Structure 1
Amino acid sequence: MAELESVRKSVEKTCEPHEFTVDSMPTRFIEPVVMQGLKVHRVQRGLILCSFTVPPRLLNTGNTLHGGATATLVDILGSAVIYTMGSLATGVSVEISVSYLDAAHLGFVGVAPMVATGPVALEVVAFPVTTTFSKDYNEKAGRKPSQRRHFPTERNTEEIEIESKALRVGRAIAVASVELRSIKTGKIIAQGRHTKYLTLQSKM
């Protein structure tokens, strides 16, 4: 069936222009890809407070922060806050849950379709601001005009606040909460909970 084939193609990312770049990345590259640019403002017992400007590399098809990136932030920061409680290890994940309550936007909804002849400003459809568009990036990726990526300028990106709290750190189980909020509006973007099994220290 045609619709099943389209599903397969959307999931199986082969023969893509970026395939070589992805395969050449070093091992354990997921954390720096997601965490690059995160700023830590406070670390105390049971609490980590950060801010993060949503970068274009973490967008989904709707031009908002990808849900997988949000889950990764919950994973990493939920583990990190366990260390603030004096734990020597953060153990292994038992469960991660995320409630997505709002979108972390980049300051626009869409752009008017056009073919770029260089780095140009594009008019935003929904808001009276502009975004920029890299001709070099799209040409290297072999994108057709209808497939080209539109990147927001830094001044239009949304900054979010991330608060990670240790809810419980026992001998065997630790539970942390991670909340993402829009700094501009105060709206909660996502709430996550990370449960970890702490490997018991040997008494020998």
Structure 2
Amino acid sequence: MDKAREFLQLSQEESEIVSNLVVHPHQTGIPPSFYEDFALRGIRVDRVEAGFVACTFKVPPRLTDRNGNLATGAIINLVDEVGNAPVHIQGLSVNVSVDMSISFLSTAKLDDELEVTSRLLGKRGNYSGTLVVLRNKATGEVIAEGRHSLWVKHLSKL
């Protein structure tokens, strides 16, 4: 436990960096959240088709671990967010993650450009499954592959 606590302890410099983070205003008029600005800023949607989404994401310094790799928590977040996209219908549904299974196959470094794709695997009732792949655009190497299961509740329009 002491080793884990020591590993997770921020240095003075790291603590100051976190304290000085600036959260930029959200552009759609919805109040900004720290989460959106910190975890998702920089993701670019390249292609959207029925049951498929492709994005590009350049690894920023704020999401790297002490070894300079894209943090596993950031990878999990990308699987969660991009895995949700093929089943999301703006204003018509609420998607709840039921299960995620992620295989970490390689690492991504600072400034690596990643291709993040999500494909709908299938639906049964309110249950949907997606497959998310994070790949280094320059080398083609797969960084991680995740399966994301969601329960979709359709809301009636007000």
**1:19-34 correspondence to structure 2 within 5 Å:** 20-21=19-20, 28-34=33-39
Residue type matched to 2:8 in 1? Answer: V
1:126-147 CA-to-partner distances (Å, cap 9, x unmatched) read xxxxxxxxxxxxxxxxxxxxxx
Task: Specify the alignment match of 1:104 in structure 2.
Answer: 108
Q: Give me the whole-angstrom Cα distance separating, in 1, the residues matched to 2:42 and 2:19.
A: 24
Structure 1: which 5+ residue stretches go unaligned? 107-156
Which amino acid in 2 is paired with 1:59?
A: T
Query: d(CA) in 1 for partners of 2:130 and 2:45?
Result: 17
CA contact (8 A) 1:167 1:176 kept: yes
CA contact (8 A) 1:90 1:196 kept: no
Aligned to 1:180, what secondary structure does the other structure show?
Answer: strand
- Specify which of 173, 182, 189 is matched with residue 136 of structure 2: 182
- Asked if the contact 2:131–2:148 (Cα under 8 Å) also holds between the matched residues in 1, the reply is yes
Greater strand content: 2
Q: C-alpha distance in 2, partners of 1:100/1:165? A: 18
Q: Is the 8 A contact 1:163 1:180 kept in 2?
A: yes
User: Which residue in the other structure is 1:139 paired with?
Assistant: none
Normalised by the length of structure 2, the TM-score is: 0.78
Q: Match of 2:7?
A: 10
How does 1:81-96 map onto structure 2 within 5 Å? Answer: 81-83=86-88, 88-96=92-100
Matched AA of 1:5: D
Match of 2:79 in 1: 74
1:167 aligns with 2:115: no
TM-score, scaled to structure 1: 0.62
Between Structure 1 and Structure 2, whose CA radius of gyration is higher?
1
Change (3 A) 1:19 1:167: same
- Partners of 1:166 and 1:177 within 8 A in 2: yes
The offset of 1:41, in angstroms, is 1.1
* Structure 1 position 83, deviation (Å): 2.1
Contact 2:92/2:155 (<8 A) preserved: no
Deviates more, 1:4-13 or 1:161-170: 4-13
Which SS does the other structure have where 1:30 is aligned?
helix
CA RMSD of aligned residues (A): 2.7
Describe how 1:25-174 pairs up with structure 2 within 5 A. Answer: 28-83=33-88, 88-106=92-110, 157-174=111-128
Secondary structure in 1 matching 2:153: coil
The number of residues matched between the two structures is 147
Distance in 2 (CA, whole Å) between partners of 1:19 and 1:186 is 33
State how far apart, in whole Å, the 1-side matches of 2:17 and 2:61 are: 15
- Tell me how far 1:29 sits from its aligned partner: 1.9
- Quickly say closer, same or farther: Cα 1:201–1:171, change in 2 above 3 A: farther
Q: Is the 8 A contact 1:171 1:200 kept in 2?
A: no
* Identical amino acids, percent of aligned pairs: 33
Contact 1:82–1:169 under 8 Å retained in 2 = no
